[in-house]
Homo-oligomer: A and B are copies of this chain.
Amino acid sequence: MSLLVVGTMAFDAIETPFGKTDKIIGGSATYVAYAASNFVQPVQQVSIVGYDFPQEEMESLQSRGVNLEGVEIVPDKKSFFWSGKYHMDMNSRDTLVTDLNVLADFNPILPDSFKDAEFVMLGNLMPSLQKRVIEQLSGQQKLIVADTMNFWMDIALEDLKEVLTMVDVLLVNDSEARQLTGEFSIVKAANKILTMGPKYLIVKKGEHGALLFHGKQVFFAPALPLEDVFDPTGAGDTFAGGFIGHLARTKDISFENMKTAIIVGSAMASFCVEKFGPDRLREITKADIDTRLSEFVQLVNFDINLV
Task: State the copy count for this chain.
Answer: 2
Q: Are A299 and B222 in contact (CB under 8 A)?
A: no
Interface status of A155 (Cβ within 8 A of chain B)? no
Q: Are B306 and A290 in contact (CB under 8 A)?
A: yes
> Assuming the A-B contacts A187-B225, A222-B222, A225-B186, are A304 and B299 also in contact, with contact meaning beta carbons closer than 8 angstroms in the complex?
no
Q: Are B184 and A218 in contact (CB under 8 A)?
A: no
Whole-angstrom distance between the alpha carbons of A209 and B223 in the complex? 11
> Assuming the A-B contacts A211-B225, A222-B209, are A88 and B184 also in contact, with contact meaning beta carbons closer than 8 angstroms in the complex?
yes
> Assuming the A-B contacts A38-B307, A208-B208, A220-B222, are A185 and B227 also in contact, with contact meaning beta carbons closer than 8 angstroms in the complex?
yes
Interface status of A283 (Cβ within 8 A of chain B)? no
Q: How large is the interface on A (under 10, 10 to 19, 20 to 34, 35 or more residues)?
A: 35 or more
Contacts of A222 in B (CB 8 A): 209, 220, 222
B-binding segment of A3-11, A114-122, A255-263, A271-279: A255-263
Contacts of A263 in B (CB 8 A): 302, 304
Q: Binding site of A, secondary structure by majority: helix, strand, loop or mixed? A: mixed
A295 to B, closest residue via Cβ: B218
Whole-angstrom distance between the alpha carbons of A248 and B88 in the complex? 40
A297 to B, closest residue via Cβ: B304
Q: Are A302 and B225 in contact (CB under 8 A)?
A: no
A307 to nearest B CB, angstroms?
6
A90 to nearest B CB, angstroms?
10
Contacts of A143 in B (CB 8 A): none
Interface status of A85 (Cβ within 8 A of chain B)? no
Contacts of A217 in B (CB 8 A): 298
The 5 A-B pairs with the shortest beta carbon distances in the complex, nearest first, are A259-B302, A208-B208, A220-B222, A290-B306, A187-B227
Identify the A interface with B (CB < 8 A).
38-39, 88, 184-188, 205, 208-209, 211, 217-222, 225-229, 246, 249, 256, 259-260, 262-264, 286, 289-290, 293-294, 296-307
